[in-house]
Chain A
Amino acid sequence: MTTTLPPSSAPVDPDRPAAFAGTHVLGEPGQIDADGVCAWFGGRLVLESVDLVMEKSKVTALIGPSGCGKSTFLRILNRMHEVVPGAQLAGSVKLDGIDIYGPGQRAMETRRHIGMVFQKPNPFPAMTIAENVLAGLRFSRISAPDKNDLIEESLTKGGLWNEVKDRLGELGGALSGGQQQRLCIARSLAVKPRVLLMDEPCSALDPTSTLRIEQTIKEIADEVTVVIVTHNMQQAQRVSDYCAFFLAEENQPGRVIESGRTGMIFGEPTDQRTFDYVNGQFG
């Protein structure tokens, strides 16, 4: 049906012209502009006036101690914040120029373009691995001309193809933690979103899986903009191009204290609080 986000002006892939007809053009990363974003939970202000640009094809890391609104901000970016009863927000979030909270924008539509990977891996246990990967397409009623190719492509991008290519018919819950998380990444990538949000994707995993996933993040950044919340500073330094430092002072809502290139945030931060945080003085 009608798409509310205009297709990008980049050239359409000639091999798959009709694959996602009507939704968006595949393989084209997007840019998010957050302007004056505030968040409330049950009347209490938890996030205040966040202005941030998440550049296309780049990895932006949201860092800061726990409880300062990073995850809340992330969830505002794909309209998951409003799922919580009593949650409110303000400000504008623009994907490639279109405000996702504008009148007539549907949350479901937005989530097709902005995907999310969660802290705890959550593959659908009643579905096979193959079905898990295709789940997003089923929801959005996107028809892919060659499902097997798509499964292979998504699992490859997620870094899982070699391990599961012989057992695509197994149930999704039968994998290890790290594998499950990579399956979730593959699942999110299958619908070719413009942006992929990752909420502490490695915090529940062992170091080997963590490294695998960090590798994956770097590999997919060409095709999809990545915004990752992490409170592992070394991880932020390893994977991200840009960083935004969030902080909630005592009895205050969370704010972005400083943001910029990762090298500068960690090397020459302008704010004393940023300096203290990245040097491990607190958090």
Chain B
Amino acid sequence: MAIDLDTPRAEPQHVTPTPIVVTRDYSTPDRIFRGGVQVSGAGVFVLLVAIGSFLAWYGWPAFKTAGWGFFTHSGPVTPGSSSGFGVLASLTGTVEVAFVAMLVGAPVAICTALFLSEYAPLKTRSSLIAMIDLAAAIPSIIFGLWAFFELQPNVVGFSTWLSRHASFIPFFKVSSPPLNASIFIAGLVVGIMIVPIVASICREVFSLAPAGEREAALALGASRWQMIRTVVMPFARGGMIGAVMLGLGRALEETIAVSIILGGSYKVTTEILQHGGSTISQLIATNFGSGGQLGLHDLLLCGFVLFILTLIINLAASAIVNRSRSGAGIDL
């Protein structure tokens, strides 16, 4: 804006500067490059939507037949009956297995994470962390193999012990032996499998706890545990919750190890020490192919349910972790 020099100036004109608009000009190779990676990113999005869509599409007929009874009944499709397939038994089984897994796995994982971040000597820390991460890498079928041949025989004795001496707790009642292939054993092995997942997130979150507050606690005469309790744990609360939720998600979806242990059943039960049980993923895996009573559409509806369930849990866990003080990595 020009200032007019001819007219007498009463007061200086106030000129607000406007910023130049800078446009980025990409060359053609760059355009191709950017376009390519954007397509890739969009492709991931499309893939996720495709998974949900196809499963819903193919599972729909089963839902149409069974209605909401799909979730509230239990039992295969019986010829001549109008009701469809019901997964209540598998649903309760999934919840029970996950419950046992969390009860066993979460405390052990949190303690392991505490060990790695607070107690382990610095020189060996990296190797110890590697060993826990190795546990995450062990394929679930090997866990299943080990549980079937090694864990199960040893735990059956413990189950018997529990059922005899602790049957005042309703879960521990049993109707009859045998006590192998039980939800309890499946829950135990899944619990072991989720430890590295929960431990690894908790470990990261613990190590982010601010050093200043730690020092303040120690300088006031706190013991290591007191320091952890007043500084590290409150800080890591969001991360721990997220970690546990992720462990839960993993426990809900575990297929192979559970399928090796459990034989499948349509009976809704709370006797977790008892032989027999089923989870949704086990249902899908063992009923595929010939010989299964599960129709194709029923199977795909189960898959859709599992997909949505784990999606919700993972997204919620991510949100909790990222909104918490520990997840944001902000130092107060």
Q: Are B230 and A135 in contact (CB under 8 A)?
A: yes
In the assembly, what is the distance between CA of A97 and CA of B311, in Å? 65
Residues in B whose Cβ lies below 8 Å from that of A83: 215, 218
- Is residue A279 contacting chain B, with contact meaning CB distance below 8 A? no
CB of B114 within 8 A of chain A? no
With known contacts A118-B212, A122-B212, A126-B234, A139–B217 Cβ distance under 8 A: yes
- Give the CA-CA distance A80 to B230 in the complex, in Å: 18
Interface flag for B47 (CB, 8 Å): no
Chain A residue numbers with a CB within 8 Å of B234 are: 126
Distance between Cα atoms of A109 and B121 in the complex (Å)? 24
How far apart sit A64 and B145, CA to CA, in the bound complex (Å)? 66
Q: Is B41 an interface residue (CB 8 A)?
A: no
Check: B231 CB closer than 8 A to any chain A CB. yes
Interface window among B6-14, B53-61, B219-227: B219-227
Q: A85-B122, A124-B231, A126-B234 are in contact. Are A139 and B223 (CB under 8 A)?
A: yes
Indicate with 1 or 0, residue by residue over A168-209, a CB within 8 angstroms of chain B CB atoms. 000001000000000010011001000000000000000000
In the complex, B216 has a CB within 8 A of chain A: yes
Central interface residue in B217, B218, B223, B234, by most chain A CB within 10 Å: B218
Instruction: For the complex, give the distance between the alpha carbons of A123 and B332 in Å.
Output: 10
Option from B121, B122, B215, B221 in Cβ contact (under 8 Å) with A122 = B215
Q: Is A108 an interface residue (CB 8 A)?
A: yes
* Chain A residues, Cβ within 8 Å of B230: 124, 126-127, 135, 139
Given contacts A124-B230, A126-B234, contact A111 B215 (CB under 8 A): no
Residues of A close to B220: CB separation below 8 A: 111-112, 115, 135-136, 139-140, 187-188, 191
Q: Which residue of B lies closest to A197 (CB)?
A: B219
The majority secondary structure among interface residues of chain B is: helix
CA of A89 to CA of B63, assembled, Å: 73
Interface size on B, residues (CB 8 A): 20
Contacting pair A108 B216 (CB below 8 A): no
B235 vs chain A, min Cβ distance (A): 8
A21-47 vs B: 1/0 string, CB under 8 Å? Answer: 000000000000000000000000000
B223 touching A108, Cβ below 8 Å: yes
> Known contacts A124-B230, A139-B226, A173-B332: does B216 contact A118 (CB below 8 Å)?
yes
CB distance from B115 to the nearest CB of A (A): 16
Q: Jot down 18 A-B pairs with beta carbons below 8 A, ordered by A.
A: A80-B218, A85-B122, A108-B223, A111-B218, A112-B221, A115-B220, A118-B212, A118-B219, A125-B213, A125-B332, A126-B230, A135-B217, A136-B220, A139-B217, A139-B222, A139-B223, A139-B226, A173-B332
